[in-house]
Chains A and B, each alone.
Chain A
Amino acid sequence: KQEVTQIPAALSVPEGENLVLNCSFTDSAIYNLQWFRQDPGKGLTSLLLIQSSQREQTSGRLNASLDKSSGRSTLYIAASQPGDSATYLCAVGPQGGKLIFGQGTELSVKP
């Protein structure tokens, strides 16, 4: 059974710092891996989707990598800002969209 783990559960950094969030999964037979952002009391916003055949995706200050053989993905945030404060969730999917989520990393960026 696929299990997804995110470490750390919470992270606090000063503004301007570069940071890395980690996601690991137990079964490498995935269709894609997605990173989402969740603001308090809100739904999820998709940040990046990496297909199983890809190694990384970039969007602005965000870069996500995927290493299927080791069951790991990282989300790199460059030059962090207070507006980046939120919970970040990774999810892996088989084809069909039945995502399996990690517990999330709660990020706080201090001015």
Chain B
Amino acid sequence: DGGITQSPKYLFRKEGQNVTLSCEQNLNHDAMYWYRQDPGQGLRLIYYSQIVNDFQKGDIAEGYSVSREKKESFPLTVTSAQKNPTAFYLCATLSDRASNQPQHFGDGTRLSIL
């Protein structure tokens, strides 16, 4: 099936630790996005990439890093500099940045602090 796979589903982080969330897609979409969702709130954009080897900061990029070495993959690292990382993280894709098509979302990773 074509889709977006996020792993792991649940992740726990210790103080001072970096953790990486995986997002893989087989939709052949150019653009990929990372959003953060806090309880009772909408999604906020962390980083996005519209083409391989290029990415831009979203509204809340501090304490996060990304890479886009392959079209299919857009991993997000939550660094120790992110002091409040507990949230639900969602990855999304879009066929191309000029597209007037809806974004596709993965099933998310829930990150908690130990």
Q: Which residues of A contact B (CB under 8 A)?
A: 4, 6, 9, 31-32, 34, 36, 41-46, 49, 51, 89, 91, 95-104
Residues of B in contact with A (beta carbons under 8 Å apart): 4, 6, 31, 33, 35, 40-45, 48, 50, 58, 88, 90, 92, 94, 97-108, 110
Contact B42 A43 (CB under 8 A): no
Contacts of B58 in A (CB 8 A): 98
Least CB distance from B89 to A in Å reads 10
Chain B residues lying within 8 Å of A43, measured Cβ to Cβ, are 4, 6, 90, 105-108
A22 to B92: give the CA distance in the assembly, Å. Answer: 24
Residues of B within 8 A of A97 (CB): 31, 33, 48, 50, 92, 94, 97, 99, 103
* Other contacts beyond A34-B102, A97-B99: 18, CB < 8 A: A6-B42, A31-B100, A41-B88, A43-B6, A43-B90, A44-B103, A46-B103, A91-B42, A95-B98, A97-B33, A97-B48, A97-B50, A97-B94, A97-B97, A100-B45, A102-B42, A103-B41, A104-B41
